[in-house]
Structures are given as structure tokens and as C-alpha cells.
Chains A and B, each alone.
Chain A
């Protein structure tokens, strides 16, 4: 209750409402507002200029490139929506979109499930818990170039460690990066491995704020472990979950190094995501317009997904 009152006070302050309610002295309020507006304007101006320069200009320039047929140096001729039409009629685009979708779904929910499991495990008392936590964070902390190289050592050749283990177990010698299906699975597993510590941290933070007496009360009411998990834990961490899903969706769709360093998008484009396709189109095929058009389409899709998930967050915020 105290928190609600404090927040209410903060909220009123942000709205410029004087203590005592909207019925405060009108002249004082308008004077404060004018001063505040001027201060806000001057304080915000440098940030606005910076934002326009570092986000606005490239976005506008990208828009120009997506509608022209030139190169990175010369804009070329205006072609309208031709680059978008080219991209949308390309089977390579739809194949990459399909892989991106799979990669994102597995990346988001795989890392969430692993992160959730480990976050719950870390709530219990386990020996060497601190060391365990640090070890669990390593995949997130280690630079992606290093971890992709390590994974390459582990799986790339028939004599690498993991294929050798399979062979010794009589399970054949899987070519994890050479077989298109296995390569796609390997890249997704790698993504989950790289990402779960982030999810684990997000969920751990949410769990830390949960009052343990809620569980005690639920136990006294006879709730089972599963009921406690599904009816208390999951709802309580719902907002964190949705936020982490949004972030991880953006991370997965935009993830270039995980895929590019491990497979380069191959074999035979089996692991080519949209961002890899955009990169290769611009910088290897030198088709700037279509490449930027792919990036535009990705951006629009991400904004739509983010807005949809945001609505879920708002719903979860309502009692």
C-alpha cells in the first residue's frame, strides 16, 4: 500500500500535478510547467540530435538504398518497390525466413525452458552453488568467436570429440555441420546453449522478488508442487517472461555471428537466416538494394512481433 501511494505520488509529480491534487494554485502550476518544459527541451535536445544522427539518418539512408538499384557508394536509380518484389519472389528469402522462424522459436523457448529449470534449481540449496552459477554464466560471457571455434572443434570433423563419442557408442558418425538437417539442429542447440544464461538471470531476478510466504500459504492450502509452479510461479514471473521473450526474439532474428561463424549459412543454405542472407546479398553479391530490403522486412516483422508481445505484458500487468 505504501508503495502504491509512493508510486501514485511519483506519477502525479511526472504529470506536473502539485501535492494536494489538481486543485492546487493554477498560476504556480503554469509557471512550473513553463520552466519545466524549457528545461526538458534543453536537456533532451542533445539526446534527440544524437538519436536522429545515429538512428534516423541510417534509417532514412537505408530507405533510400532499398528503393534504388545502386551500390554502397552510389545510390543509383529509383526503382520503387522493385527490390522488395525481387526479395519477396525469391525462394532463398522464404527458405531463410522459414529457418529464421524455426531458429527463433527454438532459441526463445529452448533457452527459456533451460533457463527456467536452472533458475528454479538455483533457488534450492546445492553444494558449491556460487561456482555453479558462475559456470552456468560462461556461455553468455565467453565471446561468440571463441565459443563457435570451440563448438567447431567439438563437432566439425568425423574425428572431433562428439562424433567420436557417437561412433564409440555404435551410433554411427554423424556429420553435425555437413548434413543440412543436423547442421540446422546444431546451430539451434548452439543458440540455446549461448542464450540460456540470459534467460536464467532474468527468471532468477523475477523469482527473487517473489514472497516465499505465498508458497507457505499455498502449501497449507494443500497445493501440490505442480500447482504451486503453474498457479504461483509462472504467473508471478509472467512479465519477466514476456520481456525476455521479446528480447530473445530480437536477439535470435538479428543473430548473425552464431550462425555465420559456425556454418556460414550452409551447407547449401540450410542454416541461412534472414540476417545472414541480407549480409551475403549486400556484401558478397553486392546487391545493396535487395539486401537492405530484406533488412527492412525483418525490422517490420520484429516491430509487429514486439508490439504483440507487449500487449501480452500489459495484459499480465492487469489484476
Chain B
């Protein structure tokens, strides 16, 4: 017995179907090449400076930053404020810039200014620096924070905060484990073994969806051993002995169960939960961890920097910056806005809204900042040894964007955290992956 529908489908024609199928099938194409979500008009028509900012902290941060930006009035201009979400932010900026609807001034990804400079979209900030020299703010910069932004053609952007990676520890877990704080790699290994016995992890990290801390941990350990992704000339140098040694050490931590075996899949929320729930004894994290994870009991503290086997001490830092674009109603107004905004930044730290270090000494001296011993320790002990992703190199560049959060680094971190390959093989794969995406 065979019973099939007998009504021929006149409504379901071949042409109609193909049109439907083509439209549905073309979704990945449209998604891949489609424009971003930016919809506002030009680079600030009517003399309004469009300032785009990222959600750097809680929504309260954005409210405060909006208030600061909209308080600008100079060079016959005003400023508007718009939040751009981190998801697809590069697409949002790119498509807006391409359609001349982008901002005049913005914060953004750590290496975004260099990416857009390469494409002729960035207005250099040399005149802003001159004005900062005039008003005294130039001398207020912490040492070394401005230098990475100076290219052959001028200052690509101006730093406004430092997103630093430092080691944190939970004091009570170390007491429970009866072990001292790590000062070097061997003592880090020993502390990790002791913490494991009390059910905690001695190298807390995560490399799951949207979590870059695993990536940062790997680069930090390389840099901490005097290595890094690039050499002093900015050339790729992943296979150096210091990197191999650093990754062999991390693999030793993994094989000893000092790294959570599930860490490879942890989101930042999973990782924060580890810290809050007392599973994390020691590990790399950002500034203001107690506030972030919701434990301000004083049990979470910043550790001392550890020394590598060759006597090196270093961590990594992302000097986040504010950049100006060539598409502006008035370059003079863009510059005036940037000088104004830099002068207002202290309010954000005064209101304790930031999860990052300031770039100005005067802000580090604010009571609201300086009363937190963790902040003081980071500025005193970690900031002087912090290096950018350029590591041995002195200036930032667009290639660093392909490293930061790119597929090659993420796969490398996950490979190491799963302990599935030896250090040299993993580094070799990392090097090949990075080479394939770097601009020649």
C-alpha cells in the first residue's frame, strides 16, 4: 500500500522554491559581508562630535561617561555619546567608517587605532599631545604609557586606562594549605600542589567562549620568562627558548592538576565563579577582582610578581586608548574634545567605576583609588614591569590585533590547557597560524 499526497503543488513552484532557498542559503554570505549596526549619520554633522565608547565596566560607568562627554562645549561644538557593544565591535566600526557614519572620536579595541591607521582613517593626535604639554597633563602620565602609541607619522591614539593582568590569591586557601605565596616558578608549582590538596587550583584561568584570560596567561608566562611573541624588531619569534621553557612549565602545571581540567572551556563567568566559590587559590586576573566577583571581604589580594628561572619579572598590560578619526566635522573640535575628556577622567575613578588602572599619576593619588591596598600594590609593583603584547618591541602595531583574540592564539592556549601537545609542537602550530594571518 502506497499512499502519497496526490495534490500537485501548484503553489510550490520550482522558481519560488529556488528564490526562497537562495535567500535562505545566502544568509552566511550576507552575515559575512553585511554592514554593522551603526546607523547614525556622518562624523558628527552640525558640528557635533560623535564619541563612541565601549561598555568598559558596569552600566553606571556608561552613564557617568555619557554625562562627561555631553558636558563638552568647545571650539563651537558639542559632543554626543553612544555605547558600542563588544560583540562584533570591529564590524560595527568598520562598516560605519566605510559608510562615513562612524565616530569622530572613540575608545575601542586595544589595537584598533593601528588597524584603522593602516587604512588611512585615523587622525594623528600630535596636536593633542602638544595641548597636554601646555596644560600640564603630559607630565602627569605614568612612565611609559604614551610611548607605545608613537608611530613614524605621529601619535596614533592617546592612552586613557591600563587593563593590566596581575596575580591574585585567596589568603584563606593559602593558610588552609599551609603554604607560602609563590615568589618564583618552583614555589608556584609547590603552592599549586598544596592548594590541590585542599581542593583549590593554583593557576586559575579559562579559555572558553569569549574568555581571553587563558590567552593572556600564556603570553604572560612567556613574557615573565623574558620571551614573548615578537622580538625587538617586531618580528615573529615564538620558537625562542624562553617561550618553550615557559610553556613546558605551564604543561607541568596542567599535568599536576594545578590547572582546572575544565578551564579550557570556562567563560569569564565560570572563572569568576571559581574565585567567588573558593576554588581559585592563585591566578591571573584583572584589576578590581573583589568587586568583579562579589567578594570584598578582604580575602582576595594581589600577589607579588613572580620571578622567572632567569631572573625576569614581567606581566602584560593593554593600554586602552582614545582615537580620533579623519571623518570629523572639525578636527580642531575633535582635539578639543579629547583634551577635555582626558581632563575629566578622574571622575570615573573618583566614583569607583573603573576596573582598570588610570594612566595619570594624579588619579592614582585620589583617595578613592589609593585607599585600596590592592590598587596601590598594582601601581607600585606591577605597573613598572608591565609590557604590552609587543613584549620585546617598544611600539604597538596593527599585527597585534590579529594576535589578540585571534584563532591562532586561542587554539594555542586551549592546546596547552588540555595538555594535548608538547610545548614545541604547540608553539610551532601557533607560529604557523599567526604567520598565515599577519599582514606581509
Q: A residues near B, CB below 8 A?
A: 3-4, 7, 10-11, 14, 55, 58-59, 61-62, 65, 71-74, 92, 152, 156-158, 175, 177-178, 180, 183, 214, 218, 221, 223, 227, 231-232, 235-236, 238-239, 246-247, 250, 253-254, 256, 260-264, 266-269, 274-275, 278-287, 291-292, 294-296, 298-299, 302-303, 306-307, 310, 313-314, 316-319
B420→A285 contact, CB < 8 A: no
Among the stretches B242-250, B259-267, B355-363, B382-390, the one at the interface with A is B259-267
Q: Which residues of B contact A7 (CB under 8 A)?
A: 7, 10
B411→A58 contact, CB < 8 A: no
For the complex, give the distance between the alpha carbons of A285 and B435 in Å.
11
Instruction: Judge whether B55 is part of the interface by a CB distance below 8 angstroms.
Output: no
Q: B residues near A, CB below 8 A?
A: 1-10, 12, 14, 17-18, 21-34, 88, 90-91, 94-95, 97-98, 115-116, 119, 121, 207-211, 260-267, 269-270, 273-274, 401-402, 405-408, 410-411, 414-415, 417-418, 420, 437
For the complex, give the distance between the alpha carbons of A65 and B98 in Å.
14
Query: Please, could you name 8 A-B residue pairs with CB atoms under 8 Å apart, sorted by A?
Result: A236-B4, A254-B27, A264-B410, A266-B209, A266-B265, A286-B401, A314-B14, A316-B5
Total inter-chain residue pairs, C-beta < 8 Å: 217
Q: Which residues of B contact A58 (CB under 8 A)?
A: 29-30, 33-34
Q: Report whether over half of chain B's contact residues are helix, strand or loop; otherwise say mixed.
A: helix
A11→B29 contact, CB < 8 A: no
Contact partner of A292 among B29, B262, B273, B415, CB < 8 A? B29
B414→A267 contact, CB < 8 A: yes
Q: Which residues of A contact B273 (CB under 8 A)?
A: 157
Contact partner of A268 among B6, B14, B411, CB < 8 A? B411
Q: Which residues of A contact B116 (CB under 8 A)?
A: 73
Given the known interface contacts A55-B26, A254-B28, the answer about A62 and B264 at a Cβ–Cβ threshold of 8 Å is no
Closest-by-CB residue of B relative to A246 is B21
Closest-by-CB residue of B relative to A268 is B414
A232→B29 contact, CB < 8 A: no
For the complex, give the distance between the alpha carbons of A59 and B10 in Å.
30
Q: Which residues of B contact A183 (CB under 8 A)?
A: 265
A285→B437 contact, CB < 8 A: yes
Contact partner of B270 among A152, A263, A286, CB < 8 A? A152
Q: Which residues of B contact A281 (CB under 8 A)?
A: 407
B28→A298 contact, CB < 8 A: yes
For the complex, give the distance between the alpha carbons of A190 and B32 in Å.
24
A285→B208 contact, CB < 8 A: no
Q: Which residues of B contact A285 (CB under 8 A)?
A: 402, 406-408, 437
The 8 residue pairs across chains A and B that have the minimum distance between CB atoms: A264-B209, A177-B265, A302-B25, A72-B94, A62-B33, A295-B32, A306-B21, A285-B437
For the complex, give the distance between the alpha carbons of A299 and B26 in Å.
5
Contact partner of A152 among B4, B24, B267, CB < 8 A? B267
Q: Which residues of A contact B262 (CB under 8 A)?
A: 156-158, 175, 177-178
Smallest beta-carbon distance A174→chain B, Å:
10
Q: Which residues of A contact B208 (CB under 8 A)?
A: 156, 177, 263-264, 266-267
Contact partner of B90 among A261, A283, A316, CB < 8 A? A283
